[in-house]
Chain A
Amino acid sequence: MNPLPPNTDELVSAYLDGQAAPHEVVIVESSPELMARVEATRSIADLVSGPAAPPAAQKDAHISAALDAFDALFAQDVDQVPLAASPVLTAVPTSAAHHAVEHATTSPAPDTTTTSGVTSLATAREKRQPRRFNTGIIAAAAAVVLLFVAVAAFGLGGGEDSFDVASTQSEAANTVADAPEIESSTDGASESEMMTAEPPAVGALEAAPAPTSASPQAAASQPAEVIADEEEEMAADAASDDGGGLDSETGAALATESLALAPLPLFVGDFPDQEALLRELEQVPVDELAKRVEPFEPGLFPSCQQDVPELIAIETATLVGGAFIAGEAVEVHRIGESDDIVLVDPTDCSVLPATP
């Protein structure tokens, strides 16, 4: 009897799946012993593929909730852009800002793959130097508003309510930052909350109900993880108020301000367009950008990082923020130690094309 080849398990497994190379097929089929192992492996595969039937009531409830969410989403989109004509599907010129001048006349418009979406904040910072004055004024005004809101929150809410709001905001921000599928405010929400399927809306995250992992009990059991200190609580309070009456520009400035006060929350803000988000990110010092990966819990599947070719090889976390652009959630990833930023759509981990 011939000795079994090395990596027999792999050979047999690949053969079973129809993924073996032709010469490997020959090897397996010429060996009764290997064919016997194929059958044994097949029985294991059959066991795994066996039924794991859901309760019928659960199936109906889940689908019903999804359909309700669909209704709400579609009703919203009909007033704006038809679903099938979303910006990602249309042929948007996608040259990155810092490559646009060099390649605009010679390169075909790239598709929505990752390389096209890289934006250099350093270059953008240089270009936008004069604009800082205006943003500074906005930030100063926002600081005043922030102070006002914080004082009001302390005066009206009391410590426990503030904590809950801050916990919710912080957890929601982390959810935006972490989850691959996160744009809905229902992400992580309890099933009963999902059944009601509140329509996702611009800024919905700020007002989102506490996700399962941020339920009052869970929040109470993890206060250190959720909120660091009183200052952060104030910032989170202010940010959570963003959806309650402040306009998006002020809200974005507030988010930036809270980011400067307390780097822990990853939520950057709600922006009307990509350009506005990038403008805000330009204001974040490089050191601050580096610090923003710290709250992210390292894991096997850090959100979209492993789906974006530019980021796969980077061993440290690259996620530095989450934000909304016109109501759609985006993840902000930083490429290594550089100033380059990619914006990723968390629903499918595609990189958003940089605006021309």
Chain B
Amino acid sequence: MSGDDRALVAQAQGGDRAALDELLRRHYDRIYAICRRIAGNDADAADATQEALMAIVRGLAKFDNRAAFSTWSYRVATNACLDELRRRKRRPTPALVDEHDGWAEQNTHDRTPAFDEQIAVRDEVQAALNQLPEEFRAPVVLRDCGGLDYAEIAETLGIPPGTVRSRIARGRAKLAEILHAGNQPTRGERQNNQS
């Protein structure tokens, strides 16, 4: 996979649009997933994902294959998300965002009990993640969603690997506590936490 990525990167750096298309399609879902988990809602995740793609395009010329393309792109995505979060803190709280806008709405005709359950679980996990402070959420997401190892996460977040290890452990422990205790905040509380 990474070998294929390397070839695609080289072609894209040479101006091959189709190669870039393939590269972005290959990693889009994972980039979006990371943004979704870190940003906490679909709207911010969409903005951050678009930012990340633009940043990848702009930075591609300087990408030197020292890291895997996936690692680098997840790093770019993480930075875009954290930047989006920072901007969100600076601007007025947006109107209430449906926790599963877009995806659920698009699939109303296909909805089954199992699908509803999936949505519920997804929302529950996301709500729990949203309760984690940013410094714990980002490493957990990069590990579990992005599949980065501790060294890569450390490089991405600019913190020592030992700190990554402890933050992931504490983040997961806190997630377990929240999920198992059913200690879910109300939508209003979540909104307050995000603003």
Contact = CB atoms under 8 A, between A and B. Distances in A.
Interface of A: 7, 9-10, 12-14, 17-19, 40-41, 44-56, 58-59, 62-63, 65-67, 69-71, 73-74, 77-78, 82-84, 86, 88-89, 178-181, 183-184, 186-188, 191, 194, 200, 212-213, 218, 221-222, 225, 297, 299-301, 305-307, 312, 345, 347-348, 350
Contacts of A56: 106
B135 A300 contact: yes
A249 to B, nearest CB: 26
A347 B55 contact: yes
Given A47-B121, A82-B14, A194-B50, 12 more contacts: A17-B143, A17-B149, A19-B150, A40-B176, A44-B175, A49-B144, A65-B50, A179-B83, A181-B58, A188-B51, A222-B90, A297-B86
Given A67-B21, A180-B83, A62 B33 contact: no
Interface string B36-47: 110000000111
B79 A13 contact: no
Given A10-B165, A41-B176, A66-B56, A187 B159 contact: no
B60 interface: yes
Contact of A54 (B10, B49, B179): B49
Interface of B: 10, 12-15, 17, 20-21, 24-25, 28-29, 32-33, 36-37, 45-47, 49-64, 72, 76, 79-80, 82-83, 86-87, 90-92, 102-103, 106, 121-122, 125-126, 129, 134-135, 140-141, 143-145, 149-150, 157-159, 165-166, 168-170, 172-173, 175-176, 179
B161 to A, nearest CB: 9
Main secondary structure of the interface of A (DSSP, over half): helix
A298 to B, nearest CB: 11
Contact of B90 (A18, A45, A213): A213
A299 B28 contact: no
A-B complex: 9 closest residue pairs judged by Cβ atoms:
A306-B158, A181-B55, A347-B59, A13-B169, A180-B79, A66-B53, A52-B36, A10-B169, A48-B144
